[in-house]
Chains A and B, each alone.
Chain A
Amino acid sequence: MFRSVRLPRPPLANGLLLFSILLVILPHLSHLPLWLALATLLAIGWRLLHDAGWVPLPNRFVRTALVVLAILALLATYRTLVGREAGSALLLLMLALKLFEMRSWRDVTVVIFLAFFVMVTAFLFSQSLLMGAYILVVVTLLIASLISFQHPGRAFQRQPLLRDLRLALRLLIQALPVALILFVLFPRIPGPLWALPEDTASAQTGLSDEMEPGRISRLADSNAVAFRVQFDSTVPAAEQRYWRGPILWQYNGRKWQTRPHQIRLPQQFDLDPLGQTVDYQVTLEPHNRQWLFALDMPATPPDKAQFNSEYQLLARRPVNEVYRYTMRSHLDYQLDATVLPERSRYVALPATTSPRTRELVAKLKADADSPGALVKAVLDYFAQQPFYYTREPPLLFDDPVDEFVFETRRGYCEHYASAFTVMMRQADIPARVVTGYYGGEMNPLADYMIVRQSDAHAWSEVWLEGRGWVRIDPTGVIPASRVELSADLARRQPEVRSQLDAERPWLQQSMRQAGFVWDALNNRWQQWVIGYNSSRQNALLKALGLDNISWHSLIALLFIALVVALLIIAALLFRPTPESDDRATRLYRRLLRKLARRGWHKAPGETPTRFCLRLSRRQPTLAGPLGRITRYYLLLRYAPLSRDAYRQQLKTLRQSVRRFSP
């Protein structure tokens, strides 16, 4: 109906729209290439200047050229137009360029719908609680823009922007319960509908699939959460909190690496549980890698995950969203105790590696009567020689192990794990490096453990005849006096931690408390919003007494709930208000009530003027004020008043009625 109408330029509505688009783009800025970020901001600025009447919009030729240029630039940057990064960048560019040809109401709707698209692509990068709150703000603003662009005939009227914002907020508040019903009851279809494009280029935090001294210490400063754990029963003791992750077994003289994962069926493992088990749920933050973390040693892989030949847990796909899994681990175990498959790869070393260390190992081996004794001898060596545990180790150049063991002697967990594993292999004892996390902190305000990136750790596993793979943490033997940072010590010794906490100044302590509150909220958010999937849905329905509900009864339930919710909203919206008169009438009725209290009633058929006359004759003292009120009332009801005059008169009437006392 309004198709042919050209857009007026209500500056406020336009400003609101551009501001909302800016907010939509904001979460993307951190992962966009600089040129793209600048280009989108430039487009918004250009449009703003245009709306202010300063610059013209680019003509058709320039626009076409810009589109071609943008797509070429995208291809040059990403080498593709699909996938998470390139796809969202493409949408963003389309949105920015569409601003240059926004002329009609139809264009405005296209821009707003595109903005919703761009918004949703931001969730592929972050689904934090803040983002959840942010949606509500941006949606309200975009809806308000949609509302304020809907007045085709009124180019020159003041845009009542506040009213549009209020209405948008009302719509949002009324929609929220309906949205909640949909969120909870809408059937969750598990799994992707088509293969997800590999997003190898995307940024990742967390452990890597190779280890070179210096890598993990970068993580040590990151306070980011790696995963959260909820224990079903007892929380394992501090020294048992080894979270097993990537297993590195190939060494090239500098780096430890893992090779393409060979998946082994679980029954091929020779895992022998010895006693204590622990059950827990892990909520893993996305890290874009396939591996999962579990306490040493995981018993069975969770759904959609498997063990590889190193007994490492792997998900089917890279974890690019919050991933929740239930685990059981054996804290005491024997792994591959009787026979070690592929023994040769756990003793392989480059031929000329670390000659000085080789000599040392040969000497130690001569004194040791068993592989176990040699392990102890090497650990003793680390403990007795002046080795330091530090976050700022010196750089290592030619042969990292020799230099570390004989020269610098200052290192982080990966230095110790690397050197120890090399030494074991030099003594022909099968050994490998295990990376993962060590430690974890209970949130005192909620019943779960937080494992942070700063808890990243590396240790070794050696294979001993009759005992299988044995976990050896060479870092652990460094005496406390040679640990430089008390925080590192605290991870190992809870009593140090509580002492540390007590020593913190007041502000830091309350910041820490606030941090726990925030993390507890985040955890809830992860559990109930981000991690809400078909199994959570089933659990919730079960809690509501709807066991094993079929797919179509769920749809029916959803439909009924929706209809009921909408009927309630409709009833509230359409409710016949007894005070459906205008404000003047309401005020006049208030006057009548005042008079009625004194026993003076207006007859049903009597006009206000006649009533006023009749009463004035009987009560001459009332004549003045009553006459005035009646006059104002009639004026307000029947005179064609301008909006301002109406408001003015209404104010006078209100005051007169308030003051009137018969």
Chain B
Amino acid sequence: MRAASLIQRFNLSRFLQGDAPSPAPWTLNRRNVYILPTRQGVFFAVTLAVILIGAINYNNSLGYFLTFLLGSIALVAILHTYRNLLQLQLRVATIPPVFAGGEVSVPVILANPGPATRYRLAFADQPFMVFDVPPGRHTTVTLHKPAGARGWQPVGRFILASTFPLGLFRAWSHVVPDAQYLVYPAPAAEERLPQASRYMASLLGDQGLGSDDFAGLRGYRSGDSLKHIHWKALAREQGLLTKQFGGDRSERLWLDWRTLEGLAVEVRLSQLCRWVLEAERQDLEYGLWLPDRLLEPGRGPQHRQQCLEALALFG
């Protein structure tokens, strides 16, 4: 290998920042695993240097030998530390959405295709998570980081490192997976639902869309609120049934962008977000009115998710 090609291969920004995001799975290889001594490693080197000077001074052969033995152990430890990361494969599993200002949990799956256990791996800034990956198996590690701003966020760069076995050297790799997660607006503190909601009376009743009186059972459809599932029937192995409630009227709540006139965009989105959560909590039927999008009234986890997504991606 010529020196020039080595220099070309070594790229300072890659050393400091890692590569561009790349699709899964991410494999650690000789190009993206780096290794440097730790603080303890430097201290160890100084220790050895002092012992060596002593050995030279006293012309002490065993002193020489101990220095060389410890130095060689450190050299071999470099290889072990490096190998501990090599050929590991990383994948990021689906990341559940989070609210802005919160903490995102990134499930990372590490697969070890090699014949040896990878000991004591850790992600930088996640000090309490140290884990092993046995040969031929995989381990899921959940990383936590601040969620960041509203909208789609890239997972970004994280650093997988190991100082195994001696703690004298730290091998690490900047991992930049091609994964992202959705951040909902931060819910505002104000919980009161808007006065602008209208009750829409129905002469015929709403046939199961209201919430007052039990009206009967029907088969479960996805999106039905978990609160309405007839759990006893499920326990009797009659399958999933949804309880239907009827009434003369139902509360149909419009969560309207326009009612928040005069406030900043993000504040408005935060308030709408809080209302969505509150309406869902109270099991109301609600619709969302945004300048660029209209979501018909509905309820249930799926509806809630749609609304929050619309808020997250607004603008």
Contacts and interface: CB of A to CB of B under 8 A. Distances in A.
A106 interface: yes
A109 B70 CA distance: 14
Contacts of B124: 1
Interface stretch (A55-63, A139-147, A423-431, A473-481): A139-147
A171 B77 contact: yes
Given A120-B60, A120-B66, A150-B166, 10 more contacts: A2-B127, A120-B55, A150-B165, A175-B69, A178-B72, A179-B65, A194-B57, A566-B75, A574-B79, A582-B136
B54 A120 contact: yes
A106 B70 contact: no
A175 B68 CA distance: 9
A153 B129 contact: yes
Nearest to A528: B61
Contacts of A308: none
B135 interface: yes
A305 interface: no
A174 B76 contact: yes
B65 A529 contact: yes
A319 to B, nearest CB: 11
19 contacts: A1-B163, A4-B127, A120-B66, A120-B67, A123-B63, A127-B60, A153-B131, A171-B165, A174-B76, A175-B76, A176-B69, A176-B72, A179-B68, A182-B71, A186-B64, A529-B61, A570-B79, A574-B79, A582-B135
Interface in B129-148: 129-131, 134-137
A119 B127 contact: no
Interface of A: 1-2, 4-5, 105-106, 109-110, 113, 116-117, 119-120, 123-124, 127, 131-132, 135, 139, 143, 146-147, 150-154, 167, 171-172, 174-176, 178-179, 182-183, 186, 189-194, 196, 320-321, 529-533, 562, 566, 569-570, 573-574, 577, 579-585
Contacts of B127: 1-2, 4-5, 152-153
Contacts of A530: 61-62
A105 B56 CA distance: 31
A179 B64 CA distance: 10
B51 A153 contact: no
Contacts, number: 171
Contacts of B76: 171, 174-175, 178, 566, 569
Given A106-B40, A123-B66, A566-B79, A150 B120 contact: yes
Interface string B77-90: 10110010010000
A530 B62 CA distance: 7
Q: Which of A178, A179, A577 has the most CB of B within 10 A?
A: A179
A574 B114 CA distance: 10
Contacts of B166: 143, 146-147, 150, 171
Given A123-B60, A570-B79, A193 B73 contact: no
B164 interface: yes
A139 B53 contact: no
B80 to A, nearest CB: 7
B236 to A, nearest CB: 30
